[in-house]
A and B are shown apart, each in its own frame.
Chain A
């Protein structure tokens, strides 16, 4: 069992937790992920590491409440326990030698982009960050990004905060104005990452994308997380989760992501009703 050391609501859909997992905290690096199970009947879900405190043995996770499992997790409070927490899995984001980087986060993906931006900033790299949300209510981690970025742009789809539009607009502007980046690192919805890649392509800037497909074991055993990368099958858990954005078949990845959509919706609704009943 793994103790929830702290819990913080970031917005009505996104929660942050720190989990006591000293072995994971000791090894975790930006870009890696963990797999957790809430309880004995729980499914295994991957979440990318949002931070860690090696001394205190804590690993930070930030998750969006999208299905039955994340809903269940969100019902837990600080001081309570979850059944399983294993990691760190996957490869850390490669940052060696980078001098100027644009970090682009979308929605809850910002939680994963932040430790990467932090790492780059701490090694003296110039960091421009662009973080995008659907609206101002969903905005998270603005101050944290500000602290580690040389420039920060916030976008919202509806213009309720920052620049109206999506993250590719300020990116295009920057590239158009002659801004040079060694690399663009992006984490967020597949469709967003796809368009970041398409935008960057015109200017020939390398793009690293962080993929978060369906997984079970996270150690290479099941093959459920496979992606087509450069025409070859790759497993996100052992070969990734970061990949060269130019090589990813995003359309296929988006389709694969919908495999259990109906099941999840059903499970989520059932789960929600259950909690409603408890409230009565």
Chain B
């Protein structure tokens, strides 16, 4: 019988006060009983609007039907047909803007907790599976994948399953891309990413860390070495700064640097040799998921934290759950606030940040209300650390060393959307290297598209 409760089952979480002092995962996941109860809220709509909201078109009602009957492994197999990283996506997808936004139950009441169910199913599978991944028969065709983030991992996995000999080149010393350097442990435990990477290796994917394509080796050289196709999933690249006075003071970080020190380099652990500045008052500039991650990391390192954003809470690009969690953890939100200058002390360290108060006016070309400065509204926030989280611009390393690779005016690689093909024969691209900073799931979708195109292309070579 359907569960007609208007409210979804709550996600059990670590207590906010306790979790704000540790790096363990915040959300604890549904139990089997809760998962079945939540699944029973799904009406199994014939036209399944939720599926159209999913960038990789997971057959959502179909997997939820399996959960209802307690066939969790069956549910996993349904998801796995469309998504190769369900344990990751169940945790980091902005479901409220995707599948859940289309859910009929959301019209009157709360939508079905699709993301929470996806996570439950993936975790159940990881905890119970005993199957050994078999390495498929090789078709002898070599493909190079640049970058081991969500798009690269997906593309590599899809191609390996089809028998291609895939080599993934990763610039850093650990595979996973933004999943390991960017997203914090408390939101996405690294063990989950490692499990996905290990699964790829079991499929026969050769993973080479410490190779910077564009520097250590170029795309042209990859073709010389016998690779028949190349996928570029090199990610978003250079952090942006505001261009205001004081951004080079000590204590000013890009979110990328701050998060990399903590996530990839594990600076928060005693055994790590990588230093991190433990601030007392941190100001994070920006309103996206990365800003939330940076703020919540700073909080866990013992700082009080204020997020400064020039629009209102309604326009925050971050996932709702992240904003909600951040608030629970005691992070201050200063909305309609725009930094104009960072003040430093005589030794070159941050002392405070000066901001204007803003108000919203007419929508701009992005469709969002444009923030406008309120005259003479300047005020100062005391801070010894400022983290700039206002986006990234594409990395030039591959573009500069690959003749004929077309990029747009922002430096993003130009591709045909349906095929992920770039301006060069046999070279495909996807993820943030194409779109600029976007979501894990859209990067995965692009990796999948590219794998399909590469397969079609190489079938005839």
A binding-site residues for B, Cβ under 8 Å: 23-24, 27, 37, 41-44, 68-69, 72, 83-89, 216-224, 226-228, 233, 235, 238, 249, 252, 255-256, 258-260, 263-264, 267
Contacts and interface: CB of A to CB of B under 8 A. Distances in A.
B272 interface: yes
Interface string B237-262: 11101010001111101101100110
Interface string B192-216: 0000000000000000011110011
A interface secondary structure, majority: mixed
B257 A224 contact: yes
Q: Which 4 A-B pairs have the closest CB atoms?
A: A255-B348, A223-B254, A222-B257, A86-B210
Given A219-B397, A238-B396, A87 B216 contact: yes
B173 interface: yes
A217 B172 contact: yes
Nearest to A264: B275
Nearest to B388: A223
Interface in B234-292: 235, 237-239, 241, 243, 247-251, 253-254, 256-257, 260-261, 264-266, 271-275, 277
A267 B277 contact: no
A221 B215 contact: no
Contact of A86 (B173, B243, B265, B397): B173
A84 B239 CA distance: 24
B216 A86 contact: yes
B347 interface: yes
Nearest to B347: A255
Contact of A23 (B211, B251, B272): B211
A44 B275 CA distance: 11
Interface string B53-72: 00000000000000000000
A233 B212 contact: no
B217 interface: yes
Contacts, number: 121
Given A222-B256, A223-B241, A83 B273 contact: no
B212 A89 contact: yes
A147 B442 CA distance: 57
Contacts of A84: 173, 209-210
Interface residues of B toward A: which range?
35 or more
Nearest to A239: B396
Contacts of A42: 273
B277 A24 contact: no
A221 to B, nearest CB: 6
A86 B171 CA distance: 8
Contact of A88 (B172, B216, B274, B275): B216
B386 to A, nearest CB: 13
28 contacts: A23-B211, A23-B217, A27-B216, A37-B173, A41-B266, A43-B265, A68-B273, A85-B210, A86-B212, A87-B212, A87-B216, A216-B265, A220-B237, A221-B181, A221-B235, A221-B238, A221-B260, A221-B395, A223-B254, A223-B256, A224-B257, A233-B241, A235-B238, A238-B238, A252-B248, A255-B348, A256-B248, A264-B275
Contacts of A221: 181, 235, 237-239, 256, 260, 395
Nearest to B269: A41
Contact of A220 (B173, B272, B347, B395): B395
Given A83-B173, A84-B173, A220 B396 contact: yes
Contacts of B396: 220, 238
Nearest to B257: A222
A60 B266 CA distance: 29
Contacts of A264: 275
A221 B392 CA distance: 9
B275 A263 contact: yes
B241 A267 contact: no
B211 A41 contact: no
Nearest to B261: A216
A89 B248 contact: no
Contact of B239 (A24, A27, A222, A252): A222
Nearest to A254: B348
A43 B211 CA distance: 18
Nearest to B251: A259
Contacts of B249: 255
Q: Which of B243, B248, B261 has the most CB of A within 10 A?
A: B248
Contacts of A24: 216
Contacts of B215: 27, 87-89, 219
B209 to A, nearest CB: 7
Contact of A267 (B217, B273, B347): B273
A216 B275 contact: no
A164 to B, nearest CB: 32
Contacts of A88: 215-216
Contacts of A255: 249-250, 347-348
A267 B272 CA distance: 10
B348 A216 contact: no
Nearest to A24: B216
A68 B275 CA distance: 11
A3 to B, nearest CB: 14
Contacts of A233: 241, 243, 247-248
Contacts of B210: 84-86
Contacts of A238: 238, 395-397
A44 B265 contact: yes
Contacts of A217: 171-172, 181, 260
A225 to B, nearest CB: 9
A249 B235 CA distance: 30
Contacts of A224: 253-254, 257
Q: Which of B209, B249, B250 has the most CB of A within 10 A?
A: B250
A23 B210 CA distance: 10
Q: Which of B172, B235, B251, B397 has the most CB of A within 10 A?
A: B172
B273 A252 contact: no
A273 to B, nearest CB: 15
B49 to A, nearest CB: 38
Contacts of A68: 273
B35 to A, nearest CB: 37
A249 B249 CA distance: 12
Contacts of A223: 238-239, 241, 253-254, 256-257
B228 to A, nearest CB: 21
A102 to B, nearest CB: 29
